[in-house]
Chains A and B, each alone.
Chain A
Amino acid sequence: MTPTRRGILGLGAAALAAPFLAGRAGAAAPPPVEILMRGNADGSQVWFDPVGILVRPGQAVRWVNRDPGNSHTATAYHPANLDHPLRIPAAAAPWNSDYLLPDEDFSVALTVEGTYDYFCVPHEHAGMVGRIVVGHPGAAPPGGTAALPEEAARAFPAVEEILRRGIVRRA
């Protein structure tokens, strides 16, 4: 995984990272995908859009906060992040965007194949989580979702649905 700079520099960093990745792969890097952080007017609902997405190894993922009344994070499920369970490939490095204010963004390039689950720090208990499949999904994280807040465990789209549809938006 190749983290890039957060905030206003995020898009530029993602653009800069693309030729680097292309050089390593020997082919043009796939374009970055965008995941929006959203919320409704009274803050009663918050979500990632899309909630599930299939990307190619090395493809950059960019989160943008489009919720005018809240701050959000994109944080990998990993013991390094607030002692959360490991729910990304063991060989992948964790990321944490820190709080993004409205219109700020954060990018990472995911190079290790597998399934990556992530959450929003202040909204995990409200079910604001997402799932990214990079190439082949690999094995499911051990322990299932038992250690997660109930709302979070319920919100992940199925890997099979992500593989079938490519992009999964919340119901």
Chain B
Amino acid sequence: MLFRFAVAAGLAALAMPALAADQVEKAPPAGSYKKVSELVKLPDFLPGLGQLYVDPKTLPAGPFLAYDRDGRLVSTVYMLPIEDLSNKDKRFDDLAAPGGRVDHVDVYFNAGHPGVEKPHAHVILWHVSKTDEGRVAK
């Protein structure tokens, strides 16, 4: 009995850091993610996207994790410079996708902003329904 308890406790202790490292459902995400508005001069909450977090080492592509005003994950965003997309020698491989289930995907042009200054494509993996996109509309 004591042995079983010790094994269970040991497994739980091992599992906790792993769970913490993977925690992205609620803001702030665990790991190396930083709030974008603290890295560059951008509004804290971007209409249409929400509150963004990114690991600076992954710029410009990301992933950026986007949260609603209650700190719930709504989407994973990749920002891919147009000039890179039209460069036959450039690839974006093995981009992390920590957000889990994807409901639908949007892709559209963005003129640029601090952090990703050149015109780029936003590739958005929505983890919520089309209706629930409204949680970050304003």
Contact = CB atoms under 8 A, between A and B. Distances in A.
A68 B112 contact: no
B47 A68 contact: yes
B41 A44 contact: no
Contacts, number: 61
B119 to A, nearest CB: 5
Interface of A: 39, 41-46, 68-71, 98-99, 101-102, 121-123, 125-126, 128
Q: Which applies to chain A's interface (DSSP): helix, strand, loop or mixed?
A: loop
A125 B48 contact: no
Given A125-B118, A126-B119, A39 B111 contact: yes
Contacts of B114: 71, 99, 122
Contacts of B119: 125-126
B104 to A, nearest CB: 16
Interface of B: 40-43, 46-49, 108-114, 117-119, 122
Given A43-B110, A101-B41, A102-B43, 15 more contacts: A41-B47, A43-B122, A69-B48, A70-B42, A70-B113, A71-B40, A71-B41, A71-B114, A98-B41, A99-B41, A99-B114, A121-B117, A125-B119, A126-B112, A126-B119
B110 A42 contact: yes
B42 A71 contact: yes
Contacts of B49: 69
A111 to B, nearest CB: 29
A152 to B, nearest CB: 12
B112 A44 contact: no
A127 to B, nearest CB: 8
B43 A123 contact: no
A46 B43 contact: no
A68 B136 CA distance: 13
B48 A42 contact: yes
Contacts of B111: 39, 43-46, 123, 126, 128
13 contacts: A41-B48, A42-B48, A42-B108, A43-B112, A43-B122, A44-B108, A44-B111, A45-B111, A46-B112, A68-B47, A69-B46, A125-B112, A125-B119
B110 A71 contact: no
Contacts of B122: 42-43
Given A99-B41, A125-B118, A69 B47 contact: yes
A53 to B, nearest CB: 22
B115 to A, nearest CB: 8
A13 to B, nearest CB: 20
